[in-house]
């Protein structure tokens, strides 16, 4: 396994730990997440931002460059796994007394995953085209 892939896998592990801390941690005080930023609740921006890097990290950690269709198939699997991860975090939050489950948080998580996947596909296509030259 090459060095970059190993580093990417460690970063993915750290990322998942950070998501777990943010989703399940008990925080008192701090940032007011009830307010809005440009008309969007800060809480939803945080959820979107938290899941945006997931497809990119999965790509760097596990994808072996090949065809564009292979990349798209890989990202479909990543999106499904990410949706399960996002849904699972909301379900667990619903079971915690100090957190709550929210379908709009899940939607923001999924939008972050989809946006990260589009960015990853675009970068993969550009990389593929550059290699073909």
**Kindly report the CA angle at 103 between 101 and 105, in degrees rounded to 5?**
80
pLDDT string in tens for the chain (133-residue length): 689 899 999 999 999 999 999 888 887 766 666 777 788 888 899 999 999 999 999 999 999 877 778 888 999 999 999 999 999 999 999 999 988 889 999 999 999 999 999 999 888 788 777 777 7
Instruction: Name the nearest CA neighbour of 112 among 63, 43, 65, 21.
Output: 43
CA atoms within 13 A on the CB side of 32: 4
- Please give the Cα distance from 83 to 110 (Å, whole number): 6
pTM, to two decimals = 0.86
């Amino acid at each position: 396994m090459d060095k970059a892939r190993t580093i990417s896998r460690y970063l993915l592990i750290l990322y998942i730990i950070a998501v777990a801390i943010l989703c399940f941690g008990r925080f008192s005080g701090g940032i007011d997440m009830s307010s809005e930023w440009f008309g969007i609740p800060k809480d939803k921006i945080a959820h979107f931002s938290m899941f945006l890097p997931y497809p990119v990290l999965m790509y760097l950690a596990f994808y072996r460059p090949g065809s564009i269709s292979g990349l798209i198939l890989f990202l479909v699997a990543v999106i499904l796994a990410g949706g399960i991860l996002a849904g699972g975090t909301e379900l667990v939050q619903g079971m915690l007394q100090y957190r709550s489950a929210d379908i709009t948080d899940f939607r923001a998580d999924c939008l972050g995953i989809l946006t990260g996947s589009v960015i990853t596909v675009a970068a993969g296509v550009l990389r593929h085209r550059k290699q073909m030259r």
